[in-house]
Amino acid sequence: MTSYITAGVTLAALSVNPTSASAGKRLAASVLGDVDPQYPTLERPEDDPRTWLEAVEADESLDWVRTRNAHALEKIGQPEKHPVYDKILAILDSKEKIPYIGRVLVHPDGRTLYYNFWQDETYPKGIWRRCTLDEYRKPQPQWETVLDLDALGKAENVTWVWGGSMILDEGPDKPSERALIRLSRGGSDATVARELDLATKAFIPTADAGFEVPEAKSRFCYKDRDTLLIGGVFGDDHMTDSGYPRSGFEWKRGTPLSAATLVYEGEKTDVAVDAYTYRDRGVRHTVHRRAITFYTSEVRHQLPDGSFKTVPVQEDAEVDTFGDQLLITLRSDWLGFEAGSLLAAPVAPFMAAPSDAERKPLLTALFAPTESASLEGRSETKTYLILTVLETVVAELRFWKYVKGTWALERTYKGEGLQSDMSSLERREHV
């Protein structure tokens, strides 16, 4: 963990992004009425003398970073010599940390196993490990290592950093046999992904038709055992102006990436485009999503006949799911519901309704804002949606239970310091 702390302190002192620094100086100078000509202006945003730093691996860029690192260390000193350094390191490396469970998966041999990603002084880059529930309940569980990033990095002479896992989900009656593991070189935003056999704990070679995603800012998920939905690895023509995937493709196992089939694409001016599928409480959802801006989007949901239809809500609404329900968070007023409301509706009837007049009766208001109450956040279990509400700046937890198409507000708790932090393990990737 030592390298992480050192890097973290140095980067904190160096967090002078060329673009944001230029924008910040331009803004400060314009406020003071004195625009420095060496920084870009609103009229000439391209006049940035540091655009060369965008070549992040070029020798000149790396030399600049080393210079700035040296400057930061000169000003703040070596992190290891700070009096709190050893305390922080001891906390991060402590064996008493709670080993949070990231996934619960059924092994091909029938065992239900609990997965945890762990880092300490022995495994600074981390290990992905698992054990049974009975073992997990013991004071000192005996974990089975699935993937050791330090050993992998040593064998390949690469500093691999954990980027998360994507599990092949073939339904509740099938074991979890495959996972795509994201790895980044030194913590880069760009990652590679390799397919891991969860029974043998070995990567599946491409020669044996294992999936291997090349290094990129990619997005992907399993559509089925032999198909990935993937974007971000097909060149600049399939990226947005913001540098994110603009297209979604289907890539079949055992075929070259160049043979992937386009299934959805957005506009170059979009922020990002996704094509993905997931199982939520036993219900399969397949979605095409355009992030038009950071606060507006178009969400297309697959219908039972295989076609896609745009979810009929405002573009600034946030759309999610809970089993067979849509969850809709409003940023502006809609159908008599105020901005800030959280609504639920059954997916199939809502998507089939021909007009807003027929959709409105399908909506259940799980939260409506008032002058003194706002929705702070939400978490979930298999059958509960837990809302964190701020009522006159005091936290209140509201437990909505969902059973067979019906929502019921079962209980509430109110008091300072209350917080809920739970989520379904089915839909999480970075664990």
Per 3-state DSSP, the chain is made up of helix, strand and coil in percentages (nearest 5) of 20, 35, 40
Query: Residue holding tokens 């700046």?
Result: 393
Query: Residue holding tokens 């076609």?
Result: 307
233 backbone dihedrals φ, ψ, rounded to 5°? -125, 20
Question: Are 253 and 208 contacting, i.e. CB atoms less than 8 angstroms apart?
Answer: no
What distance in Å separates the CA atoms of residue 362 and residue 343, rounded to the nearest whole number? 10
In the prediction, which pLDDT does 415 show?
81
What distance in Å separates the CA atoms of residue 100 and residue 129, rounded to the nearest whole number? 11
Q: At what angle do helices 2-14 and 59-76 cross, to 10 degrees?
A: 90
Q: Measure Cα distances from 101 to 92, 135, 153, 174, 423 in Å.
A: 17, 13, 24, 21, 11
> Which segments of the chain have a pLDDT < 50?
1-35, 427-430
In the prediction, which pLDDT does 155 show?
97
Domain residues of the chain, as ranges? Answer: 2-92, 95-216, 218-310
Q: Which residues contact 407 (CB under 8 A, 6 or more apart)?
A: 344, 364, 366, 400, 401
Q: Is 330 exposed, middle or buried (0-12, 13-18, 19+ CB in 10 A)?
A: buried
In the prediction, which pLDDT does 57 show?
79
Residues 6/12/13/14 CA torsion (nearest 10 deg): 100
What distance in Å separates the CA atoms of residue 389 and residue 334, rounded to the nearest whole number? 21
Question: Are 144 and 131 contacting, i.e. CB atoms less than 8 angstroms apart?
Answer: yes
**DSSP string for 319-371:** EEEETTEEEEE-SS-BTTBPTT-EEEEEHHHHHH-SSHHHHGGG-EEEE---S
pTM for this one?
0.81
Question: Are 378 and 392 contacting, i.e. CB atoms less than 8 angstroms apart?
Answer: no
In the prediction, which pLDDT does 51 show?
81
Q: Is 301 exposed, middle or buried (0-12, 13-18, 19+ CB in 10 A)?
A: buried
What distance in Å separates the CA atoms of residue 285 and residue 402, rounded to the nearest whole number? 18
